[in-house]
Amino acid sequence: MIDRVAASSLLAFITSIGLISNAFALYAVYRFKHLHNTFGALCAVIGAANFWDSLIHLLWSAYGPYLLEFYPFGEAIIRGHPGKIVGQISSFFLDLKGYAHLGYYSIASDTTVTSAFVTIPISFAFIQVAPFFWTDDCYLLYSSEMAIWEYADTPCNNFYSFHIDFILPVCVYCCIIVLDIITVFTLRKALDISQWNQTLKEKRKLEIGFFIQSLFQMGLSLLAYASFFGFSQYATDDWTLFGTTTVVWASVHSVDGVIMASFHARKAFIKWQSKITPASSVNGETAMKSLRNGEAKFVVQQ
């Protein structure tokens, strides 16, 4: 049996970080011009998915179990139809975060291209949670006793949890890994071509920064799925199961937000630094010239 207070406190802490970091990531996409493209739009999609799923984990996983203690209708909400709907929405946001990585390879500013790359992951995530519309047979519920999200023990869910919720993401992530390998060789070739052109060189640096960010986020998603479908199978106690499922689920959104916020803030800081450095250099040179002129006048007067 999980200590409800300890589990809720831990989830509240993790999800609070997720809300703050992803809110900043969303603001960065709006604020910084270098993110006004397809890559930035997908960052916004991922940030929004992380933010709303973190909010669900905060309100439902961290504080939801207290409904069972203080309100007589708590059981009907947590374990009833509302709980099934919440599980469906939460699963949608997790799937959306994963599928959005498919479009991370474009920095086009064209509205049509951006719309297509944004629509594809949303459609895939919606299709993946479609079986949950039949809430009598397929659903995902939060168990306050174990502090984990559980699939219904039905033929529909047994099929769904393996063939759709596991096999399908694995296939998608394999495609993303192949695209990452292709991108590495493409960027290396592009760097050789653009090394004598300053404009292209700056563009390549931006693309490399985006690519490194996507690798960190992709690695995080792979670790999360490995924990969901691998490490959790070897859990020997309730806390280990809680840590390899619910905590990982909440943490993947929080850490993902921290990654995006860090990369966006770093890029903004570099741009800000590049703007003030020339001015500082000019002021320094002016001061040195004034000092030399003053010394020269002093020598003449002597």
140-143 and 148-151: which strand pairing? antiparallel
Identity at 160, one-letter amino acid code: Y
Q: Mind listing the pLDDT tens digit for each residue in 161-203?
A: 777 888 888 888 888 888 888 888 887 776 666 565 666 667 7
Here the CATH number for the domain that contains residue 19 is 1.20.1070.10
Q: Which residue segment(s) compose the domain that 128 sits in? A: 4-301
| Contact in structure between 38 and 114 (CB atoms under 8 Å) | yes
Count: domains in the chain: 1
User: At a CB cut-off of 8 Å and minimum separation 6, what does 220 contact?
Assistant: 252, 255, 256, 259
pLDDT tens digit sequence for 226-259: 898 889 889 888 899 999 999 999 999 999 999 9
Where would I find the H helices in the chain? 4-31, 38-56, 66-70, 74-78, 81-99, 111-128, 155-159, 168-194, 198-229, 238-242, 248-301
pLDDT means per 10 residues in the chain (302 residues)? Answer: 85 95 93 87 93 94 78 72 88 90 70 85 88 76 85 81 81 85 78 63 78 89 89 90 93 94 76 54 48 44 44
pLDDT at 159: 82
Three-point CA angle 77, 161, 4, nearest 5°: 40
Helix 248-301 vs helix 38-56: crossing angle, to nearest 10: 130
- Work out the burial of residue 118: count CB atoms within 10 Å of its CB; fewer than 13 is exposed, 13-18 middle, 19 or more buried: middle
